[in-house]
Amino acid sequence: MKPAIKILLVLLLAFGVCFGGLSCGPKEKPKPKSSTKKKDKPKKKEPPKPVKVEVPAAPAKPPLPQDLTQWGSKDFFRAREEGNDRLDEACALLGAPFENEPSAASAVEILRNILTPLPIPDMPNIPKPVITEDMEPREVNRLEREYKAKIKAEEDKIKSIPTLNARTIAAIIEILGQNGDDSAWKLMVDIVQRRQAIDDDADIEKNVVQTILTHPRSNNLDLIFQMITQPSVFLKPVIPLNEEKTRRRLTPTQVRTMAVDWMKKNSDPEFRGRVTEYILAHPEDVELRTLATPFLISPLVGNIECMYKIYMAPNLLNPNDREKVERYFLNCSTGAYASITNQVAMSGKPTQIDVINALSTRPLNGTASAVPSPAAESNGEEETPSEDANPDQEAVQKPQKKGTSWRIEPYVDTQINDSFKMMAFQPEYATLILNVVWQNDFITRQKQAWEKTMEFKSRDQDATSRFLMALPLVGYRQYWDEFFTTAYQDGPLKIDKMPLMGYMPTDFGILLELKKVKRNVLPPAQQKKPISSKTNTNAYRVKQRQIELQSSWMEFVRLAVKMQMERCNIAAAVQKTLEVDVEKLKARTPFIIPEDAHVLCEYHMVLPNERTKDIQGIQIDPVEIHYVQFQWDGPAGMAYSKIKYKDATAKQRFNAPRSSDMGSLWFEYTSPDCTESFDIRVPVAGQSKEELKEPPKGPIQVMSIRVRSNN
């Protein structure tokens, strides 16, 4: 670089230094700061860090017993507190005795403690950190993080407390149902009524109700009754909860519907009677009447008393339901009467197939009864039907003693018919039915209804007429005597449809009342004699009319005797055997049959009997029936002389009309007061002397009827 330029640069540098300092002299010392200015804060001293102290760890708890049956109450509580996965499995064993807690009450107490939610501690009051303006942002963030961490730690501690879910609670409720102890039912009710707190109650009320209904026992029938009659009381919470509005609860109608559905399938007549009495006492409860009445009047034998009470109560049934109940009563009465008189329960295949189909639901396969026998009362076990049982056959159930489980006949809410498929024909139900329908108020109502028309609409299908003619009660045979006397002048054509001429059972004593009517048969010569115009006067016409009436009534009585014998023959079908104890037969019957006769079957019936002694409030009009069918190889025309009636008074009114009975002869004995009768029917090829010398063309039938002398 040139010297001149270097000198210039040095001068400029020197000039700038002087100008910046305003003086090229010595530099002045800085003035001290004013006292009004803030002094710098001294730095904070950090607190000494706490010294970590090593705390010895708590000794580990021994594991719970591997064998769950060895768990005691402390083990269950510990498993509950720890949320042990095997708690559900262990609870399932509480229904059975186990070593440490064998009693049912102890098991229920354990379950109550398991259901009780574990105590949840209150959230501690954690103070918020103090934040000042001069804090560094980094410091503020640190304090806030520490505060949130403390909050979360406390929340996690609370959340870690084990709770029971709805599945576990449902399992425990099922265990309570199986337990069956009173304390178990009390615990379930406490759950519904909020006396017992639980962790999760979603649909828990429905679960409790279903469990109580699934395990019906004598100690919870009152609960079920309350569900039906007062469901709002059953559901009423004793201890309302703050969050009650958010919880799902059953409505009283839902509870009532569930309980009524149970009653349809499981209840016994006594329980149904309790519900019926409540309905009668609370007619304002329309909902219950609507839900329960269709079942209580359904055609089940166990409903018979309920039906009767509802039927007799005013304004509880519409006309259609009243007619249905009345028809069921009438049909049941016929079946029960057939049962107590041994006119049903056939197992063989008799001649009258239609009769058996009407009288019994048992299959006509020539085998023993295919109806399952009644359930055992002791252990409630169902009996296995025999190999010959009809799979479509309805089972016959027998009422069991109070406190046992019931096997109930199936409920079908349909219109009943006249096929007699109800179990009224079973002996174990006969007295139950007749205790209801053989009462004076019901009989009087039916009698008044029948007397409005005094007509027999049909034979076996006229339920009212059939009911009235199957009343072996004091006073009713005389009623038919008066009826026959009144109807005599109209002739038997007016009453040819009466049940006496059908196959359904009727009181045998009515046949004796019918035999009281004046009757006779003209000799063959008079039957063919023409009426002369000279003698065709009014008096003669009246006489001729009386002769015709007597002849027609004789024919009607003959047909009635034939029909009663057919009924006896059907009833005797169950007693058909290859051998009959003839000596015993001779001792019990009031007639004598030929020594060389071969007895085929017999039927005997006496009222009152063992089956009628339990029927209350009635008086049976005594009647005694003996029927025998036998084969005889002697001359048909000699039957009336070989077959003797033992009572001498009956022989004095011996009447032996011989009339065509589809190839049969009819011989009749009747006592003067018409309290005894004896009838013989002999099948013959014809009525000529030669034909009567031949043996009968089939079995001979003999039947005796005896009623009390003051009938």
Per residue, the 3-state secondary structure of 102-115, as one string, reads: CCHHHHHHHHHHHH
Residue 613 belongs to a domain = yes
Give the pLDDT confidence score for residue 503 in this predicted structure: 77
Indicate if the pLDDT at residue 512 is higher than 80.
yes
Residue 208 belongs to a domain = yes
Indicate if the pLDDT at residue 564 is higher than 60.
yes
| End-to-end CA separation in angstroms for the chain | 173
Indicate if the pLDDT at residue 494 is higher than 70.
yes
Lowest mean pLDDT among 38-52, 599-613, 618-632: 38-52
Q: Regarding predicted confidence, which is higher, 581 or 35?
A: 581
Q: Classify residue 55 as left (phi > 0), alpha (psi -120 to 50) or beta.
A: beta
pLDDT digit string, tens, across residues 260-292: 999 998 888 899 999 999 999 999 999 999 999
Give the pLDDT confidence score for residue 396 in this predicted structure: 35
Under DSSP, is residue 254 helix (H, G, I), strand (E, B) or coil? helix
pLDDT (average), residues 653-660: 49
Give the pLDDT confidence score for residue 274 in this predicted structure: 95
The 3-state secondary structure of 5-47 reads HHHHHHHHHHHHHHHHCCCCCCCCCCCCCCCCCCCCCCCCCCC
pLDDT tier, 225 (very low <50, low <70, confident <90, very high otherwise): very high
Number of neighbouring beta carbons within 10 Å of residue 495 = 19
pLDDT (average), residues 375-396: 33
Give the pLDDT confidence score for residue 543 in this predicted structure: 83
Number of domains comprising the chain:
2
Which token pair is 607? 């009222």
Lowest mean pLDDT among 357-366, 385-394, 587-596: 357-366
Most confident of 282-291, 344-353, 420-429, 575-584: 282-291
Most confident of 133-142, 349-358, 425-434: 133-142
Cα(507)–Cα(620) distance, integer angstroms:
11
Q: Regarding predicted confidence, which is higher, 408 or 476?
A: 476
Cα(92)–Cα(577) distance, integer angstroms:
58
pLDDT (average), residues 117-134: 81
Indicate if the pLDDT at residue 360 is higher than 50.
no
Residue 634 belongs to a domain = yes
Residue 347 belongs to a domain = no
pLDDT (average), residues 234-246: 64
Cα(492)–Cα(494) distance, integer angstroms:
5
State which amino acid sits at residue 326.
Answer: E
Indicate if the pLDDT at residue 519 is higher than 70.
yes
Q: Regarding predicted confidence, which is higher, 383 or 425?
A: 425
Of the residues 215, 249, 265, the one at which a domain ends = 265
Residue 289 belongs to a domain = no
Which token pair is 320? 């259609």
Give the pLDDT confidence score for residue 224 in this predicted structure: 93
As a whole-number percent, the residues of the chain with pLDDT over 70 amount to 70
pLDDT tier, 29 (very low <50, low <70, confident <90, very high otherwise): low
Average pLDDT score, the chain:
75
Give the pLDDT confidence score for residue 381 in this predicted structure: 34
Which token pair is 498? 């009466």
Q: Regarding predicted confidence, which is higher, 60 or 296?
A: 296
Indicate if the pLDDT at residue 236 is higher than 90.
no
Of the residues 265, 285, 302, the one at which a domain ends = 265
Query: Could you tell me the residue range of the domain that residue 641 belongs to?
Result: 582-707
Cα(88)–Cα(651) distance, integer angstroms:
87
The kind and range of the H/E element at 705 are strand 700-707
Give the pLDDT confidence score for residue 255 in this predicted structure: 93
Of the residues 219, 235, 265, the one at which a domain ends = 265
Residue 512 belongs to a domain = no
Cα(277)–Cα(266) distance, integer angstroms:
19
Rounded to the nearest 10°, the torsion over CA 524, 525, 531, 537 is -90
Question: What is the rounded radius of gyration, in angstroms, for the C-alpha atoms of the chain?
Answer: 49
Residue 220 belongs to a domain = yes
What are 660-664's contacts with CB under 8 Å, separation 24+? 660/687, 661/558, 661/562, 663/697
Q: What's the burial of 627, exposed, middle or buried (CB within 10 Å: 0-12/13-18/19+)? A: buried
As a whole-number percent, the residues of the chain with pLDDT over 90 amount to 17
Indicate if the pLDDT at residue 156 is higher than 80.
no
Q: Regarding predicted confidence, which is higher, 406 or 114?
A: 114
| Under 8 Å between Cβ of 401 and 379 | no
pLDDT tier, 182 (very low <50, low <70, confident <90, very high otherwise): confident
pLDDT (average), residues 498-512: 88
pLDDT tier, 364 (very low <50, low <70, confident <90, very high otherwise): very low
pLDDT digit string, tens, across residues 527-558: 555 555 555 678 788 888 888 888 889 888 98
Residue 95 belongs to a domain = yes
Lowest mean pLDDT among 216-225, 316-325, 532-541: 532-541
pLDDT (average), residues 64-87: 84
pLDDT (average), residues 211-239: 87
Indicate if the pLDDT at residue 435 is higher than 50.
yes
**Does residue 119 have a cis peptide bond before it, meaning omega lies within 30 degrees of 0?**
no
Cα(53)–Cα(55) distance, integer angstroms:
6
Give the pLDDT confidence score for residue 295 in this predicted structure: 93
pLDDT digit string, tens, across residues 566-608: 888 888 876 565 566 777 888 888 898 888 888 888 899 999 9
Under DSSP, is residue 128 helix (H, G, I), strand (E, B) or coil? coil
Indicate if the pLDDT at residue 363 is higher than 70.
no
Give the pLDDT confidence score for residue 281 in this predicted structure: 95
The kind and range of the H/E element at 601 are strand 598-607
CA 237 to chain centre: 31
Length of the chain: 711
Give the pLDDT confidence score for residue 374 in this predicted structure: 26
Most confident of 34-48, 375-389, 434-448, 567-581: 434-448
Give the pLDDT confidence score for residue 105 in this predicted structure: 72
Indicate if the pLDDT at residue 439 is higher than 60.
yes
Q: Give me the phi and psi of 604, to 5 degrees please.
A: -135, 140
In DSSP terms, 607 is beta-bridged to 623
Under DSSP, is residue 645 helix (H, G, I), strand (E, B) or coil? strand
Nearest in space to 343 (alpha carbons), one of 473, 462, 472: 472
